[in-house]
Amino acid sequence: MSPQTDEVASSSKANSFKNQGRAKTSHAGSTRRNKGFTRAENSSQDSHSSDSSASQNVGVKYVNLGEEDQMEIHGYRRSIFWTTVTWFFIVITVGILRMVYHWFPEWFLNCTHTKCSLEAAEKVLLVEICQEKYRKIHIRTIIRQTALQALTIANQEELSTSNKNHNEDYVLEEFNKATEVLSLPLPNPDGTFHEVENMRLFTCKKLRYVWNERSKEFFKLKSLGPGIPTSSLHCPDAQQGLAGLSLIEQQKRRAVYGRNTIYVPVRPILELLMLEVINPFYIFQVVSILIWIAIWYYFYAAAIAVMSIAGIIITITQTRRNQRKLRNTVRGNDIITVCRGNGDYHTVGTEDLVPGDVIVIPAAGCVLHCDAVLLFGTCIVNESMLTGESVPVTKTPLPMRNDVFYNPREHARHTLFSGTRVVQTRFYDDEKVMAVVTSTGFLTAKGTLVSSIMYPPPADYKFERDSYKFIGFLASLASIGFIYSMVTKIMNGDTGLQVLLHSFDLITVCVPPALPAAMAAGIILAQRRLELRNIFCISPRAINVSGSINCVCFDKTGTLTEEGLDLWGVVPVARIANFLRVLSPVTKPCTLPGAVSAVTGSEMSQEDPKKELPYLLFKGMATCHSLTIIDGTLNGDPLDLKMFESTGWNLIEPSHDDTHKYDNLCPTVVTWTPNESERHSKVEVGIVRQFPFSSALQRMAVLCKEMGKDQMHFFCKGSPEMIQSLSLPETVPENYHELLESYTKQGFRVIALAHRLVESQSINKLQKVQREDLEHGLTFLGLVVLENRLKPDSAEVLAELASAAVRTIMVTGDNLLTAISVARDCEMVGENEEIVIVNCDETTLSEDKPRLTFVLAEKVSRQLTGSPTATRTNMSIAEDVILSMPDTGTHYGRYHLAITGKSWSVIQEHYSELIPNFVVKGTIFARMSPDQKQQLVVALQKTGYFVGMCGDGANDCGALKAAHAGIALTDSEASVASPFTSKEPSISCVPELIRQGRCALVTSFGIFNYMAIYALIQFFSVMILFEVGTNLSDFQFLYVDFFIICSLSAFFGQTQPYPGKLFKRPPLTSLLSPPPVGSLVIQALIILLIQLTSLFVTQQQDWFVPYLNITNGTLGTELSEYACSENYAVVGVSFSQYIFLALAYSKGKPYRKMFLTNYGFTASLALWTGFSLYLLIDPNEYLKELFELEMPPELSFRFVIIGFSILQVALCLLIEAFLVDRGLVAMMNSSCWLKMRPRQEMYLEVEQKLSTSRWPLVSNYDGDPPPEEHLSSVMNQFSAFRAKS
């Protein structure tokens, strides 16, 4: 198998905004989608694929079309003739050509193979377009196996890793003896399998791609389950041991899917050494060292060799450490019981599991090493290592439905994920808790996360791209110098190997070998500073990018607000004299029954008090939750915990004997003992079944039974909008909307409860009943009001970011009302700034698509209350209700859009041309799913923002990974997907990261400019001295390169960030912009002028004798003697240039502290300035001989050279401080410059366009929509604008 190589190269943007999202969030019961391999022209099987294929090349084949990892695929077959020719040239170039092919593997593939169909291919070329601008390739060898070969290989892998019992060997012997043709099961999209005799496959990013002979396509092996009915995953006979895969079936599936391991390879040291040594930079260094040795620069060659070897050792050590750390983090195995059918149960290692295995979850719990769907029983799972949520989660059996299709995200409450820990299991009687395996290895949730770490997308680092271009410029300059030097020497009659080698030395001078080490030093120092502030980084390259951030997205709960909730009170509903009334809030729910009785008095009905609505609300708060006792401590969702504790009830989990009085149904019992003054007796309620919370359904429910009663109670708890829709209209108070709005506008989190009675049923029926059969015709009980307080520093941090012109956005899964209130409380939206709510009306179609409507938030309260003096509020209670909008016309000035996840989906699918408008003006995004959060981040990046994302890691992993700088406020395993992790759960890490990033970015600019100007200084010096027949001596090179440059560049990055408020403008991000380019050009001209002037003045002295006259025309490169007056004149002024240009490029305020606070850097400046002055004025004989200095006979002339050095220092500092930092930077911001070279960021164009546009159009006070012709004109205007952009 040939080396599997990746390459990243720049390419133009592949898609426009029109092809951006268009991926609808799937819901239970939605039509399943097949997104396997397909041709671009046949990609109409779902809306996403058909839309995205519009921008694909016709006739090109793809794998994973429409998915995040979509790739082109091309087939190749080896050509014997071209392989022979290629290796012939490799041999005659002594392997140099093969090394070039290693850098460009696609060239090697095209030189040794010819394109062919995938059916005949021996290798495939996979082309991945990353971030629509990078081209990443993967070259993979196709493996052909018969069924017997695949089974033999799979068995050998097992035997090589562990000691197996004789069953496995027996099965393999049976395969070998089989007379019929062996076959392997390959999965179909519908969850079924078809048998094949031979298998063709390749592996890419740890995932297997298998050839489908029917469709003549490669498709990615996927998990068992997604897109198939949930009933297909169920095994009704599993409890009797009659379900599961036999040993033979398991062996066959293992041959297809591979072993259930997440293997992170740790490369051998020799392999890492070879990969590092053949890096283009180190090859350049090796060539440079050989040239230096050939021209007798032994000391400098040895110094650079030591530095290079040290750098290689550090890199290899760090790489091995990272690989070991990741492997140790994800490695793990265990033993588990598997059902084999026919009543057989086998204990096997978890690495032998395959999709379709039915496993038994032990009662004492275990760590999951696969993804599995729970079939029977209940599991309490700790998912903190995967999601960051420390709260145990209750997992319940998957409903068995033919019309509901399994989706791991939507059915997360029924899915056990790899890497999570099952704390305990529960089931009635002695039944087993069982699950069916759906994913193994890298197909699991944990495997996907590890794969994203091992194969990260290429980062968009503009600074690095510009640095490569500038290094190319230096190399071109060196080539010109080389050609000039060679031509000049040949014309002068100078020949020989030394002349050639010295000319080659110009290239090594102009491209400084120490540049990468100097750049890396600054980043490492920035990483250490972040760690001291409890911000840990796994991607050091992202530190510079964080300095460019100008937009930050924040999650709400746990990020801007406190993680926990405080119960503010309960708002019960009571039926008094046959009228529904909303009672006054009760701040202590434990007093709810008595308080209600005291308020209503005799007006209350004389029925059984336990049938009164307030009492049912009380009981619902005590039972409708997913709390459990672990190690004697009550655990669960913070909201459930606060709500339950406020009732004063007790939760017990009785032993097996105690559950018999609840018909063996109730693993959890809640009890309440009322006060003697109350009309109630002691209550014991057993929770029969839980229907866990679903973010898609926005609710949870329980079925419970009170001891001694025949009827059961069904309680449902969730978002007010959802509970209202499930309740009988006559049970909902008339002033419900006003009531809810009054609390949500204050930022409270509001939960509603509803209830219905259910007839008692048998155990089997209760376990099989579907929640949809119960969640209708409910009686509305009231509201639970919780307070989610802002974190103490949230408002202050957001104000600091706003003052630094960093845009802030809230993206949350919470209610839009609450999100808007929190945005105002934390001053993300100013007091006098407007909020425009974006709604969609799916009942009113315009051009066959839902119509978007807009409303100013402060007008909603007038419509709800009818009061002209009502205060500013947020929006309609029902987020999908269309509201009339105020004054028709334009909205000049500052306003913010508030968008829900539902509206965002409509915008992506039907109004993709307006996405830039919405992301530029959108500040509040609520009810957003994890996928939608990621889509928003990508949309912001496409408009030109450098985006940061700050979240708690639970639902933000995708957005954290997609952002330029993701900051996870969690220690979970999910945080490894984020470049940065803060150990302190506070958003104060965001300005600190930006501050450190800006400091690191300015440092990188400074180091790069300094190393570039250092190369130019040395290039000018060498070229000038070459003209007079001499050069710098070995120790002069060593003193400059090893002592001055290395020490100053090493200390350069130790300057701390400026401690004040963030500056309102981020630093430059392009090395090719006027300030850095202008600085280098002007400084280079001054340097050249000073050196030439110093040489000219020296040549005018009476005592001056030209070097070539002393040596009788022999070049210094041939004599290896360089001491002369010309050398002293040029080297003397260059010392100050090397030293003080480091000071000129060591920028201070507003991004870094003053250089004097960097004691190492200041000491180095002082040390080398003093030593250089000593060398120039009166060195001792040893130093004169060592440095080969020819001292001028007149002491006064030595001070003339020092005078030139002082002039150089003054000029370089003044030019950098005034002409560059003030003049060129101010020029870039001037109107004339912006007219000639307008900024390229799309969001600036959008802002400018919106500032004079009538968009968004709103209705008038009476609810009349804006004129249709206005709407059409605005849409046409923006369509033209988008086309132009």
Tokens of 533: 């502030």
Amino acid, single-letter form, for residue 919:
V
Of the residues 555, 952, 1034, 1041, only one is catalytic, namely: 555
CB 923 within 8 A of CB 810: yes
Per DSSP, 706 falls in state E
Angle at 876 between CA 926 and CA 1250, to 5 degrees: 65
Phi then psi dihedrals of residue 632, to 5 deg: 80, 5
640 in active site? no
> CA–CA distance from 1215 to each of 987, 1001, 1081, 1149, 1165 (Å)?
40, 21, 11, 17, 19
Cα 338 to Cα 218: distance, rounded to the nearest angstrom: 31
What HEC string does 341-391 produce?
ECCEEEEEEHHHCCCCCEEECCCCCEECCCEEEEEECEEEEECHHHHCCCC
Phi then psi dihedrals of residue 655, to 5 deg: -75, 175
Q: Which of 1133, 1179, 1209, 1164 is nearest to 1042 (CA)?
A: 1164
Cα 1133 to Cα 1203: distance, rounded to the nearest angstrom: 9
Entry field: residues in the chain: 1285
- Sheet of 393-395: strand order equals 366-367, 421-426, 378-382, 393-395
Residue by residue, DSSP assigns 968-1014 as E-S-SGGGGGSSEEESS-STTHHHHHHHHHHHHHHHHHHHHHHHHHH
The residues pairing with 128 across neighbouring beta strands, listed in sequence order, are 136
Tokens of 279: 């890096």
Cα 751 to Cα 740: distance, rounded to the nearest angstrom: 10
What HEC string does 423-454 produce?
EEEECCCCCCCEEEEEECHHHCHHHHHHHHHH
Tokens of 127: 């082309």
Q: Which of 293, 13, 278 is nearest to 135 (CA)?
A: 13
Q: Which of 802, 806, 804, 796 is nearest to 1151 (CA)?
A: 804
Per DSSP, 413 falls in state G
What HEC string does 223-249 produce?
CCCCCCEHHHHCCCCHHHCCCCCCHHH
Q: Please state the separation of Cα 827 from the chain's center in Å.
A: 27
CB 239 within 8 A of CB 413: no
Cα 445 to Cα 884: distance, rounded to the nearest angstrom: 45
Amino acid, single-letter form, for residue 1234:
L
CB 552 within 8 A of CB 990: yes
Per DSSP, 954 falls in state S
Catalytic positions, written as ranges? 555
